[in-house]
Amino acid sequence: MYEWVKALHVISVIAWMAGMMYLPRLFVYHAESAVGSDKSETFKVMERRLYRGIITPAMIATWIFGLWLAFGFGIVDFSMGWMWVKAAMVIALSGVHGWLGGMLRAFREDRNTRSHKFYRSINEIPFVIAIIIVIMVIVKPF
């Protein structure tokens, strides 16, 4: 059962990370398109479907299976530091998730003021956080 929950956890993580890395990319091209244009309206639909249909359900599933792993089997040694670094990074990632949601709303209401350069610069944030998390949970360095 533990291995099944871990597999479902990692599958949810993959979907969450794929969406978190794709959405800022959509924002890059959306910021380059004219407000009210067909292109801008199409991006709104793509962003909304990605955020509501994939990223948010995947985040919820990642949390459910992750907490199940953490508290359901008595496996995790909470005296070790890796789990706390991972917990902090996961909370940060969930914060980035909400932040992207705010940007999605700004685009939806045609009140985005940020440039495509800004969205290019934030594109790697979820990936950098994911690298730290995966090293912590697999290597368990401390």
Interface residue list for ligand HEM (CB under 6 A): 6, 9-10, 13, 17, 62-63, 66-67, 69-70, 75-76, 90, 93, 130, 133-134, 137-138
123 CA to centre of own chain: 11
CB of 120 to ligand HEM, least distance (A): 22
CB of 104 to ligand HEM, least distance (A): 20
CA distances 110 to 24, 25, 28, 40, 91, Å, are: 16, 18, 15, 9, 29
Q: Which tokens sit at 70?
A: 């953490």
Nearer to ligand HEM (CB atom), residue 31 or residue 59: 59
Nearer to ligand HEM (CB atom), residue 13 or residue 100: 13
Q: Which tokens sit at 93?
A: 């990632």
Taking the CA atoms of the chain, what radius of gyration do you get in angstroms? 17
CB of 6 to ligand HEM, least distance (A): 6
CB of 10 to ligand HEM, least distance (A): 5
Q: Which tokens sit at 122?
A: 């934030």
Nearer to ligand HEM (CB atom), residue 31 or residue 133: 133
CB of 23 to ligand HEM, least distance (A): 16
Nearer to ligand HEM (CB atom), residue 10 or residue 125: 10
Nearer to ligand HEM (CB atom), residue 9 or residue 30: 9
Reference 13, options 136, 133, 139, 138; nearest CA is: 133
Residues 70 and 76 sit within 8 Å (Cβ to Cβ): yes
